[in-house]
Structure 1
Amino acid sequence: MTTTFEITLSSPVNLRHLGGIAIAGGVLRPGLAIRADDLSTCTEEDAAALVADGLVSVIDLRSNAEVAHTGRGPLAGHPVAYHHLPLIADVMTATPKDLSGLSHEAMGEMYLDMIESSASQLVTALNVIAHAPGTTAFHCAAGRDRTGVLAAMLLLALGAADTDIITDYARTGDNMLAIMERTKVMTGAMWKAIGFDFEVPEVSGLLNGRMDVAMTIVLTTLRERHGDALGPLRDAGLSSDTVNRLRNRALAA
């Protein structure tokens, strides 16, 4: 089934540099990595500004179906490397049928599955960031879940403390209503295709409570299962050379 809809370009509402976070050896500099909500629907002006500020590569964490609807967007017109690394094969089948049951605890369990089942994609993403000659931006649709998972893995590799990783993840909470408004056309069309209409009250469990619960579950459980929060990625090929290169790039002036 193919769902068509009109794409409206708009500025990201959940975009932020990861600079300023304490990591092994110092503080993460600006200009290494940007996390964001959907960059494929950013405006021409936003795309030009990102490139002018040093963007050289984009990691798109969305599924094949999402990418098929919107493509790369305005950034395709710039000399920016593009890496499609879906962390979920099919968003529609991965979405629970009963949205009223969504909770921060449930999201934490989903993130764990994502990390363990898509470890190789996460390793590739870290290698892209480690070797890019400038800034790398990574995004999904909302810039919360798949983007939050990659941000957490990057910060772990850089030696950030759990508290700082959790704090960065939870910052998206303040942007959730704006994210829902920006993505409602795309999200609504996809969710309607699997049997229900998108309404904010149906996901109120993710608008209330403490977002930090999800990432706390992730970090704690990864260590319980693997002895190391980066264990699944190391098993999938994350090397000490990549970690060292990331740390050197993150601290370089």
Structure 2
Amino acid sequence: MTQALSKLNFRDLGGLPAGDGGVVRRLLLYRNEGPASLSDDHRRELVALDIRLVCDLRSEVERDKAPNDWTTARLFNLDITNDLRAETNEGWAALKDDPSPAGARKAMRTNYAAIPGALLPHLRPFADAILAGETPVLIHCTAGKDRTGVLVALLLLLLGVPKDQVVEDYLRSDVFARNLRLGGAIAHAFEETFGFTPSEDTIEAMTGVDRDFLDAAFDAVTGRWGSIEGYFEAAGIDAARRATLRETLVERG
């Protein structure tokens, strides 16, 4: 049972349609927000899932502030922050120049477009861990919507989940922003990060989810690698491995 976790940006990706009558296998792939949000009840429910691999997309600083001390699973840290900085700093620089809601949305699109490239060198070892039987897997970052959202979306596309279903799953992550607004801690967090307190509309644009953001990531994949297959090929996951991933993570009728 995941009654407490259901209030967070947590879900089992199992059950999504994956083409040719298949569905993503249940109880193998989970997504979540970061451990800073976890109560004792959340921790107990996570432990009961018998997760074997925690794929953590946060930076070292984020991990130090809120470690994954709830689990004995292998911690697979994909620190893509430095890779994102190498890809682009334009998004956050633009936000400081234009802290309006439009500037925030532009910053988010810029950063989403950079995430596929930042993820690329980490995908082969991640896939190899799954193929070696290190499942169930939990994928998370801090909010569970941006870095996690792009990685999960690309993986689901590879598994054959229709794009509209992938987007629908991504949009469910708005629960993180709703919980933040209820908690009232957003303004302070932005002040610490950016040195100024944005307007409520700007904060909403940055903490929420938007199909345009995810489309920016999809467009980057198409523009740079041609297709989702080409993207994973460039990551070192060849056709045979891609087929085995589908066999592992998709249940056929």
* Partner in structure 2 of residue 60 of structure 1: 56
1:42/1:73 contact within 8 Å kept:
no
Identify unmatched segments of 5+ residues in structure 1.
Answer: 1-9
1:125-174 superposed Cα distances (whole Å, 9 cap, x missing partner): 33333334431001011111000011012112212221111111112124
* Partner in structure 2 of residue 5 of structure 1: none
Describe how 1:168-179 pairs up with structure 2 within 5 A.
168-179=169-180
TM-score (norm: length of structure 1) = 0.79
Identify unmatched segments of 5+ residues in structure 2.
Answer: none
Separation in structure 2 between the aligned mates of residue 233 and residue 183 of structure 1, nearest angstrom: 40
> Amino acid of the residue matched to residue 203 of structure 1?
I
- Tell me the number of residue pairs that the alignment of Structure 1 and Structure 2 aligns: 238
Per-residue deviation at 1:200? Answer: 4.1
> Amino acid of the residue matched to residue 248 of structure 1?
E
1:41-85 superposed Cα distances (whole Å, 9 cap, x missing partner): 42333223222223111111001111121222322xxx3111110
> Amino acid of the residue matched to residue 119 of structure 1?
L
Separation in structure 1 between the aligned mates of residue 226 and residue 38 of structure 2, nearest angstrom: 40
Of 85-94 and 162-171, deviating more is 85-94
Work out whether 1:250 is the aligned partner of 2:252: no
Give the direction of change, closer, same or farther, for the CA distance of 1:62–1:180 in structure 2 (3 Å limit). farther
Q: What do you get for the CA RMSD once the two structures are aligned?
A: 3.1
Separation in structure 2 between the aligned mates of residue 182 and residue 246 of structure 1, nearest angstrom: 39
Describe how 1:1-253 pairs up with structure 2 within 5 A.
13-25=8-20, 26-39=22-35, 41-75=37-71, 79-89=72-82, 95=92, 96-97=95-96, 98-100=98-100, 101-103=103-105, 106-179=107-180, 184=185, 188-189=188-189, 191-197=191-197, 200-206=200-206, 211-252=210-251
1:80-101 superposed Cα distances (whole Å, 9 cap, x missing partner): 1111102222999774435431
1:29/1:250 contact within 8 Å kept:
yes
1:120/1:233 contact within 8 Å kept:
no
Q: Identity of aligned pairs, percent?
A: 25
TM-score (norm: length of structure 2) = 0.79
